Amino acid sequence: MAASPCIQCRVDPQTKSDLRTLAERRETTESALLKRMVELMLQSVNAAAVPTAAVDGPVLRDARVTIRLAADDQRLLRARASGRGMPAATYVSVLVRSHLRGLVRLPNEERLALKESVAELAAIGRNLNQVARASNQGARLAGPTQADLRAILKACETLRDNVRGVLKANAVSWQLGHGETHN
């Protein structure tokens, strides 16, 4: 059986005790009593008269959200934002967007490094394709020696390791907030 949606709230100890006492008098559970109270309240209010939430209104691109942070959290926020090369407000915006949309953002430096790596791999691939095409057409190649092929393989492995490192650093820095790497 699928679980039903749940509503929760925190109350002071006296309210909790009063609710428990009332539920016991009515020979029901606290949850059942709360459910009935919510249903009665909703029935007493015309649903059409309930104002809709502000989310139905226009959403502005430059809308501001103000939050309060403890001093330690502010320091940590600044450190993490700095580790990503971003202003603190941009970092918070990226975190919120990432959380809400399930996205992961790479900082510009890391994204550019990945683009450069992809471009290098594409160039290596084109060169290897030209060599393979010429070889398949029976051309006599003065081309890559075994040492050349080892160098190409080494370059590909280095690029692979660098991309892997950037991705790992990205994941770690979103968890820790710094450009540090932890194994």
Domain ranges of the chain: 13-41, 64-105, 106-183
Instruction: Provide the residue-wise pLDDT of the chain in tens; the chain has 183 residues.
Output: 466 788 888 888 998 888 888 888 888 888 887 887 777 677 666 544 555 555 556 666 677 778 888 999 999 889 888 877 778 888 888 888 777 777 666 777 777 878 888 888 888 888 778 777 877 787 777 766 777 777 888 888 888 888 887 777 776 666 654 444 444
List, in order, residues 6 or more apart from 168 with CB less than 8 Å away: 181
pLDDT at 181: 42
Q: Write a three-state SS string for 59-100.
A: CCCCCCCCCCCCHHHHHHHHHHHHHCCCCHHHHHHHHHHHHH
Rg (CA), the chain: 30
pLDDT at 182: 43
Q: Is 25 in contact with 39 (CB distance < 8 Å)? A: no
pLDDT at 46: 52
pLDDT at 51: 53
pLDDT at 178: 45
Q: Which pair of tokens denotes residue 127?
A: 């060169």
pLDDT at 180: 43
pLDDT digits (tens, 9 = 90+) for 126-167: 877 877 787 778 777 776 677 777 788 888 888 888 888 777
pLDDT at 63: 73
